[in-house]
Amino acid sequence: MTLTTSLRDRLAAVVGPEHVRDDPGTLEAYARDATPLHRGAADAVCFPADTAQVQRVVKIARAERIPLVVRGAGTNLCGATVPQLGGIVLVMTRMARLIELDPGNMSAVVQPGMVTATLAEEAAAHGLLYPPDPGSRTTSTIGGNVGTCAGGLRGLKYGVTRDYVLGCEAVLGTGEVLRYGGKVVKNVAGFDLARLLCGSEGTLAILTELTLRLVPAPLASGVGLAYFSRLKEAGAAVSRVLASGILPATLEFLDSTCLRTVEEFAGIGLRADAGALLVFGQDGTPEVVAADLERIAVACRAEGAIEARVARDETEATALLEARRAALPSLSRLAPLTILEDATVPRSRLAEMVERIEEIAVRHGLLIGTFGHAGDGNLHPTCVVDPAHPGVVERVETAFSEIFDAALELGGTITGEHGVGLAKRAHLESQLGRAQIELLRRIKLAFDPDGILNPGKLAS
Amino acid sequence: MSERSIFEPELLDRCISCGFCLPACPTYGLTGVEASSPRGRINLMRALQEGTLPDDDPTALEESSFCLGCRACEPVCPAGVRYGELLETWRDHSWKGRRRSPMLRLLLWSTAQTWRVRLMGLRRHARRRLGTGPSLMLGCFERALFPSVSRAAAALVPGASISSHQGCCGALHAHNGERERGRRLAVQLGYDLPGTILTTSGGCAAHLGSVLGGDRVFELSEWLGEHPPAVTPSRPRLRVAVQDSCHLRNGMGIWREARTLLAEVAEVVELPSASACCGAAGTYALLRPRDSRRILDAKLDEIRAADVDYVVTLNPGCLRQLQSGLRRRRLRTRAIHLAEVLS
């Protein structure tokens, strides 16, 4: 499909000629997002400035029956913004305004292109916190976060993006503008459309405005660490901590492969010989933080931790969180191709799941390091390979297929926070079943009868 | 279409496309278009390597030139992509023959031979001196434009040797599509200036160090950090702000030293964008004056708000860029090199 001059002109008439690009170089830059192995080829890239422009672009796409792929910063890890069927990539980064920050109602109204970290800073300036903190928060946009229902390190205590969307404005595939919810915490008038759109990956509507819930910023925060000789003990420690009535703000783990790799690369003084590292954090009043961190350390020792203590000072605290964040980049340096997944299980089955992943990795002769959010059972098994070796990509795919099956067997999900997109589309039915897939398609038809919004993704 | 070997595959593979570089990139900040970001440019390089884009693709050519080469993407990259090296290779491959502007060809020609560089310093050439300390590098355009910087540096490092027989370090060439010549000129300079080389230019330090080794090459603030000069506090106490040198900060990780040194003599105010490129970017200000000014404009707003006495630079290109910008805006703030403040 190529973009006819008249269509290009029609898009230019809506957003202005300087905000439509169809040169091969620009199309190349929008052919991918942060997902490895997935690539598309758009016909045009379009940068709207307001809801009215989005509406008019949707109407053009509908009239021409061409795909419309909405995109923020393109940091998603499921191929949700790859234009694999061509069409128009609709980039929302020009719509990045903070419309209102309302401390009295503890809410913010933002345009979808606003960068997550920018909103967090704006909230912090008013003594408020926007809790969802996906790894890409310095780059990712709020619209993208809502589109994929992004998670992050604070999931256990604060929940994920869906817990903070109070309302939205969105353009449906028909071109109609939907306004739902607002600055109210309680609202049962009709279906919860904000929750439905959260995680819909641009397949139901184009988000053009979001009303988000904020919470009071905690006065203090702190972190601690615990090393275990086996990951199983770390898993047991997590259960013990939660059973003791503490809800930590952060509870992250690294397995032995990650520990070794991070230490080799970053050299921050981690015990590379340990079987697992648990990094825990708490926020609240200074007294609560100090008491909770100590109690978590005690719980870890009770489960056989080799070493468990509160970070000595700010420097060590920073280094610990750094170590967790360095897991992915450190692994990625071992080989040209890095594939990161996010299978998730009930937290009580975490250790079991890691053992299953290790067994699968050995059986397929692959190097898979696992790190992730121990508090919410969200694992990030990460496989590093050289795709130049014949058959290796197929082996990785088989291994991950088995990992997804294992997660489902243990009562979990194939994806906790990255999304389905293109990357996990083939596995979705094994989790949801035929009937639910059909229901999802009928819902999609109600929002987007002509199937122009991000076709071929998620359940469509 | 077949895979070619323009870039080292390992350097391209290292990018995991996470996009963490986007907010750090000044040109992405201007356009908001992915192709003007480091990740987007790496995808353009991949397309050239794969042959999916031809060498003369206008967007690829434009982006290879629009990039400032400031390397602000490197410190924020979790995967450790060596973007500066990729950019040098890209320009080396793509900027052949007539794709270089006459202005750029003149700049590269005028600095390619030692005698031409010496000519620039003729009018006010530095006094020769034989010392026991490091050899002071006089620079190429710096010789003609800012000879006082070298004189100030010589005063701060009493044992420094000064020789007029020295050419360009080749950074200019390496950054503008002549990698091999850039390397040869650095080797030549290493031969002309034996032992430790001291430079007042962050950009030259990064290039020279990458060829001769970091243990032989010192930038002035790096050197003075280890060999503190005797300084007297300004009276009345001056308020100064630092403009980092991009390659010094992003390539060599040096930025604290200048602030520590300045705190001895003045009150140091941190500009929000101190670490961001001022738009000089080597030859960029001459080759793309409009874009260069757009990059500088936001910084000038910050300087006006901070209302400092001096903006202190660590590179002659930044000094020239800020001087002309401040003059254009008629601000009371003056731009000055670190050596001149301290001496």
Per DSSP, the residues of B205-239 read: HHHHHHHH-TTTEEEHHHHHHHSPPP----SSPPE
Architecture of domain B9-99: Orthogonal Bundle (1.10)
CATH number of the domain at A307, please: 3.30.70.3450
| Beta sheet of A250-255, edge-to-edge order | A307-310, A220-228, A276-284, A250-255, A367-373, A378-385, A337-340
- From residue B131, give the alpha-carbon distance in Å to each of A460, B162, B195: 76, 8, 12
Note whether residue A458 is domain-resident.
no
How far B254 CA lies from chain A's nearest CA (Å)? 19
Do A184 and A268 reside in the same domain of the chain? no
Map residue A89 onto helix, strand or coil: strand
Give, rounded to a whole angstrom, the gap between the first and last alpha carbons of chain A: 21
Note whether residue A432 is domain-resident.
no
Chain B residues within 8 A of A32 when measuring between CB atoms: 17, 43
- Contact by Cβ (8 Å): A108, A123: yes
Distance CA A247, CA B5 (A): 53
User: What does the pLDDT read at residue B126?
Assistant: 57
Q: How many residues in chain A?
A: 460
User: What does the pLDDT read at residue B195?
Assistant: 93
User: What does the pLDDT read at residue A1?
Assistant: 47
Tokens of A291: 């008491």
Q: Is the peptide bond before B158 cis (omega within 30 degrees of 0)?
A: no
User: What does the pLDDT read at residue B124?
Assistant: 55
Whether residue B53 and residue A333 make contact (CB cut-off 8 A), yes or no, is: no
Beta bridge partners of B198: B136, B218
Question: Residue B22: exposed, middle, or buried by beta-carbon count in 10 A (0-12, 13-18, 19+)?
Answer: buried
Whether residue A138 and residue B79 make contact (CB cut-off 8 A), yes or no, is: no
Tokens of B142: 């710096």
ipTM over 0.90: yes
Distance CA A371, CA A326 (A): 11
- A331 Cβ partners below 8 Å, 6+ apart? A257, A258, A261, A338, A369, A382, A384
User: What does the pLDDT read at residue B112?
Assistant: 84
How far A313 CA lies from chain B's nearest CA (Å)? 22
One fold for both B9-99 and B231-342? no
- Torsion angle of C-alpha atoms B309, B289, B207, B81, degrees rounded to 10: 100
Note whether residue A317 is domain-resident.
yes
User: What does the pLDDT read at residue A187?
Assistant: 93
Do A302 and A401 reside in the same domain of the chain? no
Map residue A292 onto helix, strand or coil: helix
How far A88 CA lies from chain B's nearest CA (Å)? 15
Identify the sign of the CA torsion A25, A31, A32, A33: positive
Pairing of strands A165-172, A107-110: unpaired
User: What does the pLDDT read at residue A265?
Assistant: 80
What's the total number of domains in chain A?
4
CB-closest option in B14, B32, B59 to A93? B32
Distance CA A173, CA A453 (A): 6
Task: Give, to the nearest 10 degrees, the angle between helix A392-409 and helix A350-363.
Answer: 150
> How would you classify residue A433: left for phi > 0, otherwise alpha for psi between -120 and 50, otherwise beta?
left
A84 φ/ψ angles, rounded to the nearest 5 degrees: -70, -15
Distance CA B23, CA A138 (A): 7
DSSP string, B274-305: TTS--S-TTTHHHH-HHHHHHHHHHHHHHHHH
Do A103 and A175 reside in the same domain of the chain? yes
Do A123 and A53 reside in the same domain of the chain? no
Beta bridge partners of A70: A90
Q: Which residue of A has its CA nearest to B62?
A: A25
Distance CA A204, CA A454 (A): 8
User: What does the pLDDT read at residue B104?
Assistant: 86
Tokens of A141: 């946009």
User: What does the pLDDT read at residue B182?
Assistant: 95
Question: Does A118 lie at the interface with B, CB-CB under 8 angstroms?
Answer: no
Q: Which residue of B has its CA nearest to A340?
A: B16
Whether residue A326 and residue B22 make contact (CB cut-off 8 A), yes or no, is: no
List chain B domain ranges: 9-99, 102-225, 231-342
Is the domain covering B231-342 a CATH 1.10.357 domain?
Answer: no
Do A118 and A209 reside in the same domain of the chain? yes
Question: Does A338 lie at the interface with B, CB-CB under 8 angstroms?
Answer: yes
User: What does the pLDDT read at residue A2?
Assistant: 55
Please tell me the number of Cα atoms within 13 Å of A456 on its side-chain side. Answer: 15
User: What does the pLDDT read at residue A256?
Assistant: 92
Do A131 and A85 reside in the same domain of the chain? no
Note whether residue A250 is domain-resident.
yes
Distance CA A55, CA A142 (A): 20
Q: In which domain, by residue range, is A369 found? A: 329-419
Residuewise pLDDT in 10s, chain B (343 residues): 467 789 999 999 999 999 999 999 999 999 999 999 999 999 999 999 999 999 999 999 999 999 999 999 999 998 889 999 999 999 999 987 667 888 888 888 888 888 888 777 665 555 678 888 899 999 888 888 898 999 999 999 989 999 888 999 999 999 999 999 999 999 999 999 989 999 999 999 999 999 999 999 999 999 999 999 988 887 888 999 999 999 999 999 999 999 999 999 999 999 999 999 999 999 999 999 999 999 999 999 999 999 999 999 999 999 999 999 999 999 999 999 999 999 8
User: What does the pLDDT read at residue B100?
Assistant: 80
Chain A residues within 8 A of B58 when measuring between CB atoms: 23, 25
Do A354 and A395 reside in the same domain of the chain? yes
CATH number of the domain at A66, please: 3.30.43.10
Distance CA B51, CA B154 (A): 51
User: What does the pLDDT read at residue B132?
Assistant: 85
Count of helices and strands (H, E) across chain B:
19, 7
> How would you classify residue A377: left for phi > 0, otherwise alpha for psi between -120 and 50, otherwise beta?
left
Task: Give, to the nearest 10 degrees, the angle between helix B38-50 and helix B58-66.
Answer: 140
Do A62 and A103 reside in the same domain of the chain? no
User: What does the pLDDT read at residue A314?
Assistant: 84
* A137: nearest Cα among A417, A457, A340, A379: A417
* A343: nearest Cα among A366, A374, A377: A377
Write down which residue in A325, A357, A376 finishes a domain.
A325
Question: Does A47 lie at the interface with B, CB-CB under 8 angstroms?
Answer: yes
How far B98 CA lies from chain A's nearest CA (Å)? 21
Write down which residue in A194, A216, A238 finishes a domain.
A216
Alpha helices of A228-363 — where are they, by DSSP H?
A: 231-243, 256-266, 286-302, 314-325, 327-332, 350-363
Write down which residue in A305, A325, A345 finishes a domain.
A325
Residuewise pLDDT in 10s, chain A (460 residues): 455 668 889 999 999 999 999 999 999 999 999 999 999 999 999 999 999 999 999 999 999 999 999 999 999 999 999 999 999 999 999 999 999 999 999 999 999 999 999 999 999 999 999 999 998 999 999 999 999 999 988 999 999 999 999 999 999 999 999 999 999 999 999 999 999 999 999 999 999 999 999 999 999 999 999 999 998 899 999 989 999 999 999 999 999 999 999 888 878 889 989 999 999 999 999 999 999 999 999 999 999 999 999 998 888 888 888 888 788 888 988 899 999 999 999 998 998 999 999 999 999 999 999 999 999 999 999 999 998 899 999 999 999 999 999 999 999 999 999 999 999 999 999 999 999 999 999 999 999 999 999 999 998 8
Identify the sign of the CA torsion A183, A186, A189, A195: positive
- Contact by Cβ (8 Å): A134, A152: yes
- From residue A312, give the alpha-carbon distance in Å to each of A223, A249, A301, A319, A437: 9, 19, 17, 11, 51
Residue owning tokens 């990729």 = B86
User: What does the pLDDT read at residue B125?
Assistant: 55
User: What does the pLDDT read at residue B39?
Assistant: 98
- From residue A290, give the alpha-carbon distance in Å to each of A223, A227, A249, A253, A312: 9, 20, 13, 21, 12
Chain B residues within 8 A of A328 when measuring between CB atoms: 16, 78
Whether residue A94 and residue B9 make contact (CB cut-off 8 A), yes or no, is: no
Whether residue A329 and residue B57 make contact (CB cut-off 8 A), yes or no, is: no
Do A306 and A339 reside in the same domain of the chain? no
Do A45 and A104 reside in the same domain of the chain? no
A357 φ/ψ angles, rounded to the nearest 5 degrees: -65, -45
